[in-house]
A and B are shown apart, each in its own frame.
Chain A
């Protein structure tokens, strides 16, 4: 079953096959949690969100239609949960503010491979949400602009515009370092 395609596994999951669900989970958990951590800058929240995303996959499997790749659909769930999580956190009462973890230590620890990577991680963390999502999906996950557009529910040219703006912001923040390379 480990060699089965995502779509075949989803067809089994739709029939209530827990073993197929476990294979899908093992296949996507690490990449999804890495994406969510980079997006949120917090490992604990990323772990909760990815687990929630998998449970949603299980519940919705009978309604899933194989008109798009499973990975596209799954990343869309993860990105939407991340966006909702950040919005809820942004509107959290001030009393709760002290309990919100500082994203910087986790984000930096995740990319602690030198000062340059830390600077890049910090610059990405400061991007607006959709620009950050477009950068992470395109450059970290290696997805095409078309698949990123599907995940973000945008047009391909819309994704290109997000990337142009994101890269301008990154170049502005990393400017002197980029010039040295």
Chain B
């Protein structure tokens, strides 16, 4: 693990290495064991975290509270502008979503895709040769695209039976 990777993880997951993703933990500990500057980097980040948290915890200042009040008062007093048109194409998905009737096509498409993959996987297990032929249909026009020849392939007929 490099310093950059360590710093990226430090920002993404905080200073406590125990809370980092499992694969990174041991590599981070190895880096800390062999490179003393990493401990200083952690301490520096922790100090910055504390400074940021203290400033953020102070909450809004009086001038922000006053400005927020003025904005709310002005918006309440002013005549509000005309709202954008509600074309059905625009509001229908929103309306359906609000009723928990979100369009089902993505789920149906995913299900159909899984079914096709399952069929092909099963087909390849039953007869790998036929599977290869089936896959080659698109690439080799001379092979018959009639799937029935792949699924049902009768054995050779005895000459005496002809």
Task: For residue B11, give the distance in angstroms from its CB to the closest CB of chain A.
Answer: 5
- Give Cα distance in the complex from A44 to B90, angstroms: 35
Stretch at the interface among A82-90, A96-104, A109-117: A109-117
Report yes or no: A139 in contact with B56, Cβ–Cβ below 8 A: yes
Does A51 sit at the interface, judged by CB under 8 A? yes
Report yes or no: B72 in contact with A163, Cβ–Cβ below 8 A: no
Does A171 sit at the interface, judged by CB under 8 A? yes
- Give Cα distance in the complex from A13 to B122, angstroms: 53
Interface size class of A (residues with CB under 8 A): 35 or more
Interface of B is mostly: helix
- Give Cα distance in the complex from A113 to B160, angstroms: 105
Stretch at the interface among B30-38, B44-52, B105-113: B44-52
Interface size class of B (residues with CB under 8 A): 35 or more
Chain B residues near A145: list those with CB within 8 A. 12
Report yes or no: B93 in contact with A65, Cβ–Cβ below 8 A: yes
Does B146 sit at the interface, judged by CB under 8 A? no
Chain A residues near B75: list those with CB within 8 A. 21-22, 25, 51, 54-55
Does B64 sit at the interface, judged by CB under 8 A? yes
Report yes or no: B60 in contact with A31, Cβ–Cβ below 8 A: yes
Report yes or no: A139 in contact with B81, Cβ–Cβ below 8 A: no
Chain A residues near B76: list those with CB within 8 A. 22, 25
Closest to A35 in B: B64
Does A155 sit at the interface, judged by CB under 8 A? no
- Give Cα distance in the complex from A119 to B50, angstroms: 14
Closest to B90 in A: A63
Which positions 41-63 of chain A face chain B at CB distance < 8 Å? Answer: 43, 46-47, 50-51, 54-55, 58-63
Chain B residues near A142: list those with CB within 8 A. 56
Report yes or no: A65 in contact with B97, Cβ–Cβ below 8 A: yes
Does B8 sit at the interface, judged by CB under 8 A? yes
Chain A residues near B69: list those with CB within 8 A. 29-30
Among B11, B53, B64, the residue within 8 A (CB) of A33 is B64
Chain B residues near A171: list those with CB within 8 A. 44-45, 48
B positions within 8 Å CB-CB of A: 4, 7-8, 11-12, 44-45, 47-48, 50-56, 58, 60-61, 63-65, 67-72, 74-76, 80-86, 90-91, 93-94, 97-98
Q: Can you list 15 A-B pairs, Cβ within 8 angstroms, ordered by A? A: A16-B83, A25-B76, A29-B69, A30-B68, A34-B60, A34-B64, A51-B71, A62-B86, A63-B90, A64-B94, A110-B64, A112-B61, A140-B56, A164-B7, A178-B44
Q: Which 8 A-B pairs have the closest CB atoms?
A: A30-B68, A29-B68, A34-B64, A62-B86, A178-B47, A181-B47, A139-B52, A33-B67
A positions within 8 Å CB-CB of B: 11, 14, 16, 18, 21-22, 25-26, 29-34, 37, 43, 46-47, 50-51, 54-55, 58-67, 109-113, 116-117, 120-121, 135, 139-140, 142, 145, 160-161, 163-164, 167-168, 170-171, 174, 178-179, 181
Given contacts A33-B67, A178-B48, 15 further A-B contacts (CB under 8 A): A14-B94, A29-B68, A30-B65, A34-B64, A43-B67, A47-B67, A54-B71, A58-B83, A62-B91, A63-B91, A117-B54, A120-B55, A164-B7, A167-B11, A181-B51
